[in-house]
Amino acid sequence: MPIEVVYERRGRGTPLVLMHGIGHRWQAWEPVLDRLAPHHDVIAVDLPGFGASPLLADREYTMPAAVAMAAEMFESFGLDRPHVAGNSLGGVLALELASQGLVSSATALAPAGFWNAADRAWALGMLSVLRLTGRTPTWLRAAFVKGRFTRLLAAGMLFGKPGRLTAEMVLADLDAFVGCTAFDLVASAGRRYVFESPAPAVPVTVAWGVRDRILWPRQARRAAEVLPTAQHVLLAGCGHIPMGDDPDRVAELIIDTCGRASLDSAA
């Protein structure tokens, strides 16, 4: 059976699939969707087991299985080698897909997998703490995010400019962290994962927020060593989820990366 996922689709043009991070949902891309839609047929997905997409109970959640699931997802949309952009988990999935020649370009925002053991433990630990915060009683979560200081404290782990988020947005993200059925499976697989795939032959951009407190920006240096032919960018003022911090710059990077693929194909 084809993989069915919940998604938001806007725009027209060459296809572009957007993939979120662990514990998140397609709404992470909301700030950039209308900036990308004039240029591409944009599909922001809830990956299986996240957001409103169901867990694939008969599948593993290792990276090879995730790549296979993504390829099946493209097929279900009728896509052949779309452009992809991803954040964190979605970022490294974009790179793995590019390495296997399954996409036309890849934009990876703070991709996982370029960590050492300590950085990996920190990232998975902090994300687990955020998930535990979301498991508190509903009234306590609502009170927590209503207070400006506590809301900024929680959102500041993920965003470089947490003041832009409303209480409703933070509460919805916490609910997504709690509700995702694939979190533990992906986190368990992540404890054994490091990006070691061949460098992609398609255009790739790797971008890192200088205020990232989940995957520290020093990991960008290893990404540059492992992927020397990619374009590497530091995003001033941005945290782990830069789409909400600087949507104009993120959209510009994605559009530019897709455009380089078009130039390559025309040459």
The answer for residues whose C-beta is within 8 angstroms of residue 259's C-beta and 6 or more apart is: none
Q: Which long-range contacts (CB under 8 A, 24 or more apart) does 62-65 make?
A: 62/189, 62/193, 63/92, 63/93, 63/96, 63/189, 63/193
Q: Which of these, 35, 11, 14, lies nearest to 261 by C-alpha position? A: 14
Q: What span, in angstroms and rounded, lies between the C-alpha atoms of 18 and 87?
A: 8
pLDDT score recorded for residue 230: 97
The C-alpha atoms of residue 148 and residue 144 are separated, in whole angstroms, by 9
Tens digit of pLDDT for each residue in 150-188?
Answer: 788 778 889 999 888 888 888 888 889 889 999 999 999
Q: Edge-to-edge strands of the sheet including 204-209?
A: 7-10, 40-45, 14-19, 83-87, 105-109, 204-209, 231-235
Contact yes or no for 239/159 (Cβ under 8 A)? yes
pLDDT of residue 214: 96
Ranges under pLDDT 70 in the chain: 1, 263-267
**CATH code of domain 7-118+183-266:** 3.40.50.1820
Provide the residue ranges of all domains of the chain, joining segments of one domain with +: 7-118+183-266
pTM score: 0.95
Q: What is the pLDDT of residue 226?
A: 97
Give pLDDT, residue 119: 97
The whole-number pLDDT of residue 264 equals 65
Taking only the tens place, the pLDDT of each residue in 25-42 is 999 999 999 999 999 999
